Each structure stands twice: as C-alpha cells, then as structure tokens.
C-alpha cells in the first residue's frame, strides 16, 4: 500500500511538472512575444539602438514637445541599421507570435521550418545587441583602466583651475566696482599725469573739451612715426601714463604693407619711448576699425583687425599694456561718425573709461583684460 501511495505521489509530481511546464510555456510564449514587442518599441523610442544617444531625442525634462519631435525623428530618420533592426525584429516577433500560437496546432515539421526562418530573420537583431553589449563592456573597461592616482591628479588640477577661476571672478567684481566709481563727472578728473598720442580720432578728446589740449598730442594724419617727432614734447611732461592710439593712417598710407612689418616698426618706437621715459607706463590701444563707405572706399582698411591682432601679440610679447577696445566699439556702433572713421562726442566717454580700466588692470598686475 505504501508503495502505491509513493507511486501516486510520484505520478502527481511528474504529471504536475509536465503540465506546469507546458502551461508555463504557453503562457510565457505569448507573454514574451508581447514583452519583446514592447521592448522593440521601447528600443526605437529610447533611441538606444545603433548608438543613438538619449538627447538625440531631446531632453524630456526640458521640453516634452521637442522630445516628441525627436522621437519622431528617431523613428523616421534613424540610421539604416536601426531601421533594419527594428523592422526585422518586428517581423521576427510577429513570426514568433504566430508560431507560438500555432505551436499546439501545427505539426512539428511546420514548427521547425518556422523556427529556422525565424532564426534567420532574428540574426541581425541579435548581432546588434552583441554590438551594444560590446560597447557597454568597453565603457566599463575604460573606467577600470583609470587609476585612483590619475584621478586624484585630475582632481587636483581641477581644483587649481577652480581657484584661478575664483580669483578671476573676484577680480571681475573688483574691476566692475571701479568702473561704477568712474561714472559721472569724476571720469575726466581721474586722468592724472598723462599724455595721449594718436591721430585724428584722438584729437576728439581735445576738440570736444574732454581732456586738456596740451596733453593730447595728436593731429590728423599722424602715424607711429609721430612718436619720434613729438619725443621732446612728451619728455617735457614726464608723464606717468602714456596712451597711444594709431593705426588708421599707418595702414592707409601703405608704408607698412604687412602686419609684421608694422608691429616691428611699432615695437621699435615703443622701446625708444620707454628708453626716454623709463618710469612711464605705456598703454597701446587696439586699432579702431573703419566701417561703412570708408571701409569700402579703402579696402586696405579691411585689414585693420589683422593689424590690431598683431599689435596685441606684439604688446604681450614685449610687455606693453594693450587696451582692447573691441567690446566698447561693438557696444556703441551707433557712435561712428558719418564718415565711418571718426567717432561722435559721446563715444569718448566710453573710450576714456576703457583707458582708465586698463590702468586699473595694470595696477593689479593684469596687462590686458
């Protein structure tokens, strides 16, 4: 009797096992087909296939509409490989689904044929997954290859750069505070013990009554050669600050046909000046470009940015302070006179402010800001 009971239990277990497996197979086949279909849709939607990146379909947190647009892009403009994977996978899935459904009805031979066809169709999708896995493992390997010592070095470098950035930021704030202090009438009072050398553009400081006439050593048509010509006058003031702004005539007359030749000659003049007045601080302005009809009439002036950049490099190389007026000009383009060369009276205030900021920068050890 005990033997029969054990036999019954065994049969129950075996039967239950077989039935369970078959039931599970049936349920899982349909469940898995649905799940894989959902996965394929997800694959296309999340754009993870074929190396698509998450934000190639836009940042969903930033813009849901753009996400939808890019999702559509991902589906319509996906790489051919992605499209082929998507298409073949879905074909494979439908075949898999039908074969799973027909599994109970069809003969074994039919099932085998379907399976073979399915295998053929699913191969590219399988290869694609393998490529994705290889990329994933390669990424992990690249992280494993990093040593903590290397990372510590990177962090210490980042800390140094961060400290420099903090210093720069602190200086920017300090400079801005100084600029604000220049607002109002005190701006012209701030010029002390100086001379201003230059061409017709600099003459404006005198003509518009902004700076003392005797300290503005400039005339229309002047070039860097005027430095030598005016040396005695300059020396007579023994100025602490010398502001220089030439270039428009220097380039216009074509005496220095290349930027290199010009900066070479300019450098000589600056050193000559420094030699005569060793205590003076020399500030060289960037060349204010010509615009409009003037630039059209004299194509040579179109080379002003190139000359100006060469002057900047020369100043950095030779240790002279360089005043970059580009941002001031850009901000006040409406201040050009009709001739496209000279400036309107209001511009001189901004220009003068830039000279004083350059002095401030130099006092703080910054040659050009």
Partner 1 sequence: MAFEKYAAGREQNAAAAAQGKKKRMMDPAASRPSRTETVYEEDEYTAAGGDEMSGPEQKGGGNGGRIPIVLLCAALIAAGVFLLYKDISRDYRHGIYRCENGRMLEAPAEPDPGKTDLVSSGVKNLAEKFPDVDQYMMLVPAAACIQPEDLPENAQIRDQRADLAQIRSKMPQSLHWIDLAETLSGHSGENLYYDSDIYLTGWGSRYAARTAMTAMEVKIPEGRDQCYLLSNTLIGRLAADRLPALHLLDRQGERLEIYVPEKEAYYYCINGRSGKRSGSLYDSEAAAGTSPYNVFFEGGKALTQIHTTAINGETLLVVGDRTADSIVPLFVSSFEHIILMHPSKCAKTVAGLAREYEVTKILYLYDANDFMTDSALLRALN
Q: Which CB atom, from 65 or from 330, has the smaller least distance to partner 1?
A: 65
Q: Which of 29, 265, 295, 337 binds partner 1 (CB under 8 A)?
A: 29
Nearer to partner 1, 134 or 293 (CB): 134
Q: Pairing between strand 241-245 and 281-285?
A: parallel
* Nearest alpha-carbon partner for 225 in 202, 181, 190, 256: 256
For position 361 contacting partner 1 by CB under 8 A, the verdict is no
Pattern of binders to partner 1 over 60-79, x per CB under 8 A? xx--x---------------
- Residue 3 phi/psi, 5-degree rounding, is -65, -45
- Distance (Å, whole) CA 248 – CA 265: 15
Q: Which of residues 308-337 bind partner 1 (CB under 8 A)?
A: none
Please report how close the Cβ of residue 77 comes to partner 1 at its closest, in angstroms: 16
Q: Does 11 bind partner 1 (CB under 8 A)?
A: yes
Whether the Cβ atoms of residue 194 and residue 242 lie closer than 8 Å to each other: yes
Q: Which is nearer to partner 1, 133 or 253 (CB)?
A: 133
Nearest-CA neighbor of 308 among 289, 321, 282, 294?
A: 289
Identify which range of 6-14, 183-191, 290-298, 305-313 contacts partner 1 by CB under 8 A: 6-14
Among 6, 79, 137, 339, the residue binding partner 1 under the rule CB under 8 A is 137
Residues 117-136 that bind partner 1 (CB under 8 A): 118-119, 122, 126, 129-130, 132-136
Residue 45 lies near partner 1 (rule: CB under 8 A): yes
Q: Which of residues 158-217 bind partner 1 (CB under 8 A)?
A: 158-159, 161-162
Q: How far is the CB of 171 from partner 1 (least distance, A)?
A: 19
At 121 the three-state DSSP class reads: helix
One of 147, 184, 192, 334 touching partner 1 (CB under 8 A): 147
Binder to partner 1 among 6, 15, 260, 331 (CB under 8 A)?
15
Rounded Cα–Cα distance for residues 47 and 75 (Å): 8
DSSP state of 258: S
Of 2-10, 233-241, 274-282, 286-294, which segment contacts partner 1 by CB under 8 A?
A: 2-10
Q: How many chain residues touch partner 1 (CB under 8 A)?
A: 87
- Using the minimum distance from each CB to partner 1, give the nearer residue, 156 or 313: 156
For residues 15 and 220, which CB has a smaller minimum distance to partner 1 in the complex? 15
Three-state DSSP at 114 gives helix
Least distance from C-beta 150 to partner 1, angstroms? Answer: 7
Shortest distance in whole angstroms from residue 29 CB to partner 1: 6
Token readout for 85 is 């994977």
DSSP for 189-236, please give it.
Answer: HT--SEEEEESHHHHHHHHTTSS-GGGEEE-TT--TTHHHHTHHHHHH
272-277: Cβ within 8 A, 24+ apart: 272/227, 272/228, 272/231, 273/227, 273/231, 273/234, 273/242, 276/231, 276/234, 276/235, 277/234, 277/235, 277/238, 277/239, 277/242
| Contact region with partner 1 (CB under 8 A), list: 73-81, 102-110, 233-241, 295-303 | 102-110
Cβ count near 162 (within 10 Å)? 10
Write down the least CB distance from residue 209 to partner 1, Å: 50
Token pair recorded at residue 309 = 């950049």
CB of 35 to partner 1, least distance (A): 5
Q: Which is nearer to partner 1, 47 or 252 (CB)?
A: 47
The interface with partner 1 within residues 239-298 (CB under 8 A) comprises none
Q: For residue 328, what are the contacts with CB-CB under 8 A and spacing of at least 6?
A: 350, 351, 353, 354
Question: For residues 74 and 57, is the Cβ–Cβ distance under 8 A?
Answer: yes
Q: Kindly state the smallest distance separating residue 91's Cβ from partner 1, in Å.
A: 14
């Amino acid at each position: 009797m005990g033997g029969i009971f054990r036999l019954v239990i065994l049969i129950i277990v075996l039967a239950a096992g077989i039935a369970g497996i078959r039931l599970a197979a049936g349920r899982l086949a349909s469940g898995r087909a649905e799940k894989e279909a959902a996965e394929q849709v997800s694959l296309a939607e999340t754009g993870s296939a074929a190396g698509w990146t998450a934000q190639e379909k836009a940042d969903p947190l930033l813009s849901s509409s753009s996400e939808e647009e890019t999702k559509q892009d991902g589906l319509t403009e996906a790489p051919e490989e992605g499209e082929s994977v998507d298409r073949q996978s879905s074909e494979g899935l439908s075949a898999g689904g039908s074969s799973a459904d027909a599994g109970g009805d069809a003969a074994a031979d039919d099932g085998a044929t379907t399976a073979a066809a399915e295998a053929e169709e699913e191969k590219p999708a399988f290869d694609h997954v393998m490529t994705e896995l290889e990329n994933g493992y390669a990424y992990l390997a690249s992280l494993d290859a990093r040593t903590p010592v290397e990372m510590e070095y990177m962090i210490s470098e980042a800390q140094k750069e961060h400290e420099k950035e903090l210093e720069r930021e602190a200086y920017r704030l300090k400079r801005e505070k100084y600029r604000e202090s220049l607002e109002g009438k005190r701006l012209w009072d701030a010029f002390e013990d100086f001379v201003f050398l230059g061409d017709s553009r600099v003459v404006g400081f005198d003509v518009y009554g902004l700076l003392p006439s005797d300290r503005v050593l400039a005339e229309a048509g002047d070039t860097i050669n005027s430095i030598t010509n005016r040396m005695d006058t300059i020396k007579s003031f023994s100025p602490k600050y010398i502001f220089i702004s030439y270039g428009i005539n220097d380039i216009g007359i074509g005496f220095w046909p290349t930027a290199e030749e010009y900066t070479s000659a300019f450098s000589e003049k600056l050193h000559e000046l420094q030699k005569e007045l060793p205590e003076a601080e020399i500030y060289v302005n960037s060349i204010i470009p010509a615009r409009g009809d003037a630039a059209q009439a004299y194509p040579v002036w179109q080379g002003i940015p190139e000359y100006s950049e060469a002057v900047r490099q020369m100043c950095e190389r030779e240790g002279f302070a360089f005043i970059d007026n580009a941002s001031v000009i850009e901000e006040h383009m409406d201040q050009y006179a009709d001739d496209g060369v000279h400036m309107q009276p209001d511009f001189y205030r901004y220009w003068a402010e830039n000279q004083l900021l350059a002095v401030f920068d130099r006092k703080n050890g910054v040659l050009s800001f």
